[in-house]
Amino acid sequence: MKLSQRYAIVMACSVLLLAVTAISCRKHKMDDMGMSEKNIDYPAAYVVNGESSTVSVINLTTNTVTETIELMSAGGSMAMWPHHASLFNIFDVNRISIGVPGVDLSAGHSGNMGDMKGKVIVLDGRKGTIIKDMEVPVMNHNAAFSPNGKEIWTSQMEMKGKVLVYDAQTYALKNTINVGMEPAEVTFSADGTRAYVANGGDNTLSVIDPATKAVIKTIPVGANPVGAWVGYDGKMYLDNEDGKSISVIDVASNAVVQTIPLGFMPGSAAHNAARKELWVTDPENGKVHYWTWDAAGNQWIHGGIFTTGAGAHAVAFTNDGNVAYVTNQLAASVSVINISDHSKIKDVAVGKKPNGIVIKQ
């Protein structure tokens, strides 16, 4: 064999070896980033860990963490301080959208960071992979799927507040809606007829028609509202951080029908239709307060308090309303609660500063 032929063979083998090595390294890198496909085909809670920039997947049958999804872009950069999540799950379509403000909101949601940009990350909930990592012009709190799953709505926390509406398939910007000052969470009513934006800068709640994208009413509420959380009784439950209260909003009349004084800064509120209870987390004391519905008085009355963990924040109920999962930001855990007697089943260790949580069943 001629020297030139030997050289050509050696070079060809070297190129092949480099190619195989590159593919192998790329695969390992993708695995390290949490981008390898998983098989989350079981009922699960997805917990967004702000400081760890991960999502812990809790199997609802065993109440153990079975997967950890790294929120890292294809370029290798971490999502800084992911916050709240939204789930769209129908048939084989399982998508989770996450708002990434880029700052730690565990001590409260007020105040923006000037020119700080935000992100929207979309996950395939079954495969555990990132579908889209998209930057938005200004920091945001959450990224909410519209009720039909065709759009993603996210606020822009600036003085002249806006809500950006993106196509959930192409991720093209469809609409820009002007709302109040420094808007925080974007949420939807249970029947899908209304969208709500809590404007922390001017203590108002913008009510939007999701079909026309028009603001149909602006409601004065308590000081520094954060999110109007969905009720399954024709109401929305708005937590006012500085006002230390809950504004109960009637969806049909666009009016505040009850203001619940708390005496503590709320983390979030959650309505359990099956048990007719309203839960409000108390982050500073690591507890959850619950209210029960008084049909005779047509109002919520305080029912009791129980302990979860330091920095109690978000609540998610199972479909039957019998079990709750509460994220504890300062304890790096999720408390599993038996709702029948409000006893703790167990604490599940997750990532650092868990906040948002959604359940797929």
Residue whose pair of structure tokens reads 């993603």 in the numeric block:
152
Nearest C-alpha neighbor of 281 from the set 315, 231, 248, 240:
315
Domain assignment present for residue 33? The answer is no
pTM of the predicted structure, to 2 decimals:
0.89
pLDDT of 110? 61
- How high is the pLDDT of residue 93? 86
Asked if residue 310 and residue 212 are part of one domain, the reply reads yes
SS3 41: coil
In a domain, 34, yes or no: no
In this structure, the answer to whether residues 291 and 345 fall within a common structural domain is: yes
> What's the number of domains the chain is made of?
2
Same domain, 112 and 17: no
Q: Tell me the per-residue pLDDT of 117-131, one tens digit each, with 9 for 90 and over.
A: 999 999 999 999 999
Residue 279 DSSP SS3: strand
pLDDT at 91: 80
Calpha distance 356→7 (Å, rounded): 59
Strands (E), 194-286: 195-199, 204-209, 214-220, 225-230, 235-240, 245-250, 255-261, 269-272, 277-282
Question: According to the model, what pLDDT value does residue 12 have?
Answer: 39
Query: Structure tokens of 300?
Result: 């919520």
Which segments of the chain have a pLDDT < 70?
1-35, 73-77, 109-114
For residue 331, tell me if it sits in a domain: yes
Task: Find all residues with CB under 8 Å of 28, minimum gap 6, and list them.
Answer: none
What pLDDT sits at residue 228? 98
The tokens describing 85, both together, are 């999540």
- What does the pLDDT read at residue 75? 63
pLDDT of 112 reads 53
Query: Do 148 and 244 fall into the same domain?
Result: yes
Q: What is the structure's pLDDT at 17?
A: 37
Are residue 81 and residue 179 in the same domain, yes or no? yes
Same domain, yes or no: 334 and 305: yes
Please give the Cα distance from 322 to 339 (Å, whole number): 5
Output the furthest CA–CA distance in the chain (Å, rounded): 100
Which residues span the domain enclosing 104? 40-351+355-359
Q: What is the pLDDT of residue 216?
A: 98
